[in-house]
Chain A
């Protein structure tokens, strides 16, 4: 019996020692000065571009970066939220501005980047206009990961075939759609019901009709059953009934749809260029881009939907100094030039030289003062309202007759949310 007891005691002691060693080892991992950071993101398709940035940061500031890309949004969000309560914390992570950023900042989880912003505004690397999307209670959080303007991508070859040119007014856009339809083409791509983008046409029609109402919807000061919103849904329905959209149940990627010529135009952010680049299509040759004219021609400025996604670090990041060092570097012209040009997109840094001439023209036009920048609906709507809207609008795309019921359902979520906020 005694040898057996000794054996058990030895086994227990060995187990305990191994556990202790394991915990020591994990302690070492999480502390100290890091030479490589992990950047968690929900942009799995951009891994190669993140890798290039990691190599460049290693060369320029001696701090490497490896991306950890997720492709499923709910899984990614759940992981980041869970990391707030566990020891597994990302060095850097992507998120979205608007209500979602506010809710994690209010939990005191996000590192303050006011110093980075103030220095960058002074040096001209970031603009004060952009800062307002990153400001909560007077302080800035995160830095811009990407910036994008929304407009219409169009198939240049198809436009040339039918002797069409980009429209300057909404009436011209409608004429384009009519012509393309009469030639047997599908004018516009419609998002699939399972995508996150069922809001796109709702947003575009509303900002082009009544931008003030759009902004009020985002702050709970207007109802989704407002006659102005109802009219927008009716207009969208008329366009669907006219056969101007691709079938919303089609599971093909919009970029593939566009490349194969199944839809002549796709409304998207300038990041769509990345998808085009990955499919060997060239801006200016294979496809073009125009800002969508207002539905209401009497508006003083053309509404231009704009988005900026943040790159953040946590207050309790494994190595806060290293994360801050990387974020400081991220907004510099050298880093931003590489980031924007490799993906074929615009940059949040106004000093960046965009290599692609057409894209450079877009950036200059957008900053030219003729446009009223409108925050994208995805960021402008509070999270619970957005969820209800995405569900409702995806249902609407396949059953346009249900628009009133859809608006009532979204309004219910809207009322419920703002009631909890004390409105």
Chain B
């Protein structure tokens, strides 16, 4: 069974473009009195002045720090005095640093885990609870943890998962294995434990986004597929999933970026320890700059993290958009 996707956005985009063209030319909507030739000339002269505050803000708050960080990554600097230029030494050191290799491994675990668990389970719950009686009540408990702040969540779960904490006691009480397990003391198990906590919180919001996506799908193709005999997995695989692709692209894209910059939950629960076993790239960057006072080396980690996030997002979006175009 094949279902043709509706190019839902194309007509409106085209009509907007047409409107723009009409508005700009003399044959379109009649220009108002403020659009006289003199005002145009005035706006023409002052247009840079009008946009300059915004441009300045973007340049000072976004571009300048990035350029400054890139420059610092080529220096040795402890936050005092002047940075000393050392070329690419920090980058050479990056790949000989065992702690950084662990950090990259953990970041990859976060990327894989976040895509599979909060997003995958969110989709599962959304599909299972969609279109059933009492669906909203079934979904509500999954959404409640999202009300907690990241730091608060990490603090509470840090106490639950500590040795001889609530989790250990509960497992022992029910006679289950793991009663004496140290969830946060060994790597990479501590990363898995934190991923479970992250899933507990993030599942709900992903589920909500998918439910919104499901509700916005036109009923006609679904009904048509049902009349043709599609149901269950086949209905999901061949009708719902293709129609939800634009939303899935956004949800996975956001999860990808969020997982690459994972910081707060790790910092509050373990501070990247013990012995740097649970650090992610964002934690390593913070530690190197603010704890170890190695501003140059920490900046090199920041540049690496930015590059990886940028490339991963670009590659993913390009692939997804490419798929949509076809």
A residues with a Cβ closer than 8 A to B are: 1, 73-75, 77-78, 81-82, 84, 103-104, 107, 109, 193-194, 247-251, 383-384, 387, 391-392, 394-399, 402, 406, 409
Contacts and interface: CB of A to CB of B under 8 A. Distances in A.
Nearest to B42: A1
Given A392-B275, A398-B185, A384 B292 contact: yes
Contact of A251 (B81, B159, B294): B159
Nearest to B36: A1
A1 B292 CA distance: 59
B28 to A, nearest CB: 25
B291 A251 contact: no
A248 B38 contact: no
25 contacts: A1-B38, A73-B291, A74-B290, A81-B293, A84-B80, A103-B78, A107-B81, A193-B270, A247-B164, A248-B163, A249-B163, A249-B182, A250-B164, A251-B162, A384-B292, A391-B99, A391-B273, A391-B276, A395-B276, A395-B277, A396-B275, A398-B185, A399-B185, A399-B186, A399-B275
B309 interface: no
Nearest to B76: A420
A390 B98 CA distance: 16
B271 interface: yes
B274 interface: yes
Contacts of A383: 78, 292-293
Contacts of A193: 185, 270-271, 273-275
Contacts of A77: 290, 293
B55 to A, nearest CB: 18
Nearest to A383: B293
B38 A397 contact: no
Interface in B207-224: none
Contacts of B246: none
Given A78-B290, A395-B274, A398-B185, A104 B80 contact: yes
A387 B284 CA distance: 13
Interface residues of B, number: 31
Interface string B21-64: 00000000000000000110010000000000000000000000
A395 B276 CA distance: 7
Contacts of B274: 193-194, 248-249, 394-395, 397-399
Contacts of A397: 274
Interface string B274-285: 111100000000
A398 B293 contact: no
Nearest to B279: A391
Contact of B79 (A78, A384, A402, A406): A78
- With most chain B CB atoms within 10 A of its CB, the pick from A193, A397, A399 is A193
A294 B80 CA distance: 39
B204 interface: no
A158 to B, nearest CB: 19
A339 to B, nearest CB: 29
B81 to A, nearest CB: 6
Contact of A74 (B182, B184, B291): B291
B300 to A, nearest CB: 16
Given A1-B38, A394-B275, 4 more contacts: A103-B78, A193-B270, A251-B162, A387-B292
Interface in B238-290: 270-271, 273-277, 286, 290
- With most chain A CB atoms within 10 A of its CB, the pick from B38, B39, B80 is B80
A250 B163 contact: yes
Contacts of B290: 74-75, 77-78
Contacts of A396: 275
Given A193-B273, A395-B274, A397-B274, A384 B42 contact: no
B163 to A, nearest CB: 4
B122 interface: no
A406 B182 contact: no
A196 to B, nearest CB: 10
B275 A402 contact: yes
Interface string B168-201: 0000000000000010111000000000000000
A251 B38 CA distance: 71
- With most chain A CB atoms within 10 A of its CB, the pick from B81, B186, B273, B275 is B275
Interface string B64-107: 00000000000000111100000000000000001100000000
Contact of B162 (A74, A249, A406): A249
B284 to A, nearest CB: 11
- With most chain A CB atoms within 10 A of its CB, the pick from B39, B99, B276 is B276
